[in-house]
Structure 1
């Protein structure tokens, strides 16, 4: 068993004059029931040394005496040869030694007891000399540690303090923290309370709450020997509540989609990591609630469904949203050719105007081509000017064709009916299909 140094404390250093008698222990703490050595160091040598415990000086002291080159323990007038488990000395000359060791078996009640030794040497001017007092510290095992404030449900981004307190012990115990099996001791601070009789360690773990900590077990443990760990018996599991924040997403993952009218759009599913679970609401491009569901289901696309759809995820902690942009391609309407009622005269020549009438599709604008008797005129505007009119223009057929990327992808022709010019008289132009 290796003792642990106190969390807080100090070491005392003493300076003794030359020739001073000193009494020391074999360790900082004596373990109850185990042999512990009290060593009386006598630089000027002694024929015997008496060991006293205060305030029991009225009782017979334990004496170690040098006889020849042997050491004997004398108690109540009975002399016993020293053995390693009882006493020892190191004779320096015949009948004298400079170091005397008394082996004691301490009990818990011996803690903080005062001891001193007295050397005897009749050849010295001062035949007796006492050591300074030695305080015997007796080890007390830490037996428990308790979490004082098991955490209630917490919210992401909260900062909480958890407090663990040890049982009284000597020396003061060290405290370790783990969360989810990971060492969190560096996020804690400890202080020691108590007196010379025993110490209590109070340790505070400061925890920044994240969603990753949900379901993680918090454990505090204490030790004041290398093989004497004790663990908190509560060991709570963190219950972390959090809003969707940036976890909101959709599946399929593309947030911008272009489709053709009549195509079937796969369902769009909105997801978010929330505790408690989120409610999902989809809104239409006109900002009117569309459905209280994580799933947006449009089926076959219509041109009226084009626009931005917003999924909102919300729980009692917070809300977040993601936008899905839908573009629907569709064709222009079937065109029609009309003869404008107004004629134009330029330098005595007559001109007429034909117009290709249609509604735009998407994308717009559509492309327009004019044809005369089935041959492209190269005119690509929505109107065409005919003239100067001649008799041979009678019966000529004109039509227009419109297209956009939708009709191109579908390989669809949108062609108007043919308008035939009827020039039966100079200023009479009629429409004939």
Structure 2
């Protein structure tokens, strides 16, 4: 009987097409949702309807008949996949209760009604696949520990959809655009949307919740969130009141140096060293908030001594397993006790030095004076003064010259005692005694 019916169906004239109209409940079906076909005719009474489906896994025929009670009579094994209505005075319907993309995508549908055995137009079923799930693939825990400067990579992925879904990255309630990208890949005719967030972590992300949101038409889904915990490392430490030159101070003077780190999270620790020794005097540690992190501050107060002269003071910061040292500050200590000791020594040294320098000068001056006196004395000897009586030398009775100076007055003799005595002796030495002369004559002439 069925074979005869199908043969008659195949031999119907083409001109009869178009008398029966097949429509769908929407332009596209949605996977996982119902979809209804409606088969209507220009005639008002329906008896039979034959539904033909060319599916991905083969062709299926579904013949139904309407009775007075308008209940459908089936000429096939019924299933839970399809549902039929058979109103006697209205169009027949066929409903796919759960559209399956793999089965129903691009399937061809027609219907034929009796009377008058007219065949409907063909409807090609287009199936969309909505967004069902979205996952944050790199989320293994709810807290992600990072360090400022680290590169964070998060990947978010949707289920295969048609058409493709969209992904948006969020930080709390703010949209992230920097470092966010999206790509797709094909999966059996569907599209998987992949979102990536690649960025350098800053301290502003500390205690922020990161997640991604998928959107598909009117559907909005969001992933689980990740709480970021961002550490800020120690990169710098310095003595803020240090100088490039040695710091000048006096012995027993109190000195306070202040050391600071860059803002870190968690807080860094500071210690002071003087040479190879750790300072254990008055050291005070404090901190202050700065730019979402904490600045470690340490003040070291100590009294300098002469032993600290040219010593180096340094502070070091400790952060987890990291140690960073500051530039050292050199101390230049002015020692009072050493100055008191060195003062008299310096004066005595100056006195001795000046004495040593003056002795040669005094000796030279004395020698010069003696030389000058000697020179003047010799000059007086070689150049006798003129006589008031006569410029010619006096002759003795026997005609010989007598070398003596008679014109020297008494004051000249007092000034030139030594020269006078020498001249006097010279007179005696140069006088020639004759046998006939008398001593009295010589003495009178000398006088």
Query: Rg: which structure is higher?
Result: 2
TM-score (norm 1): 0.49
Instruction: Specify which structure has the higher proportion of helix.
Output: 2
In terms of fraction of residues, the more strand-rich structure is 1
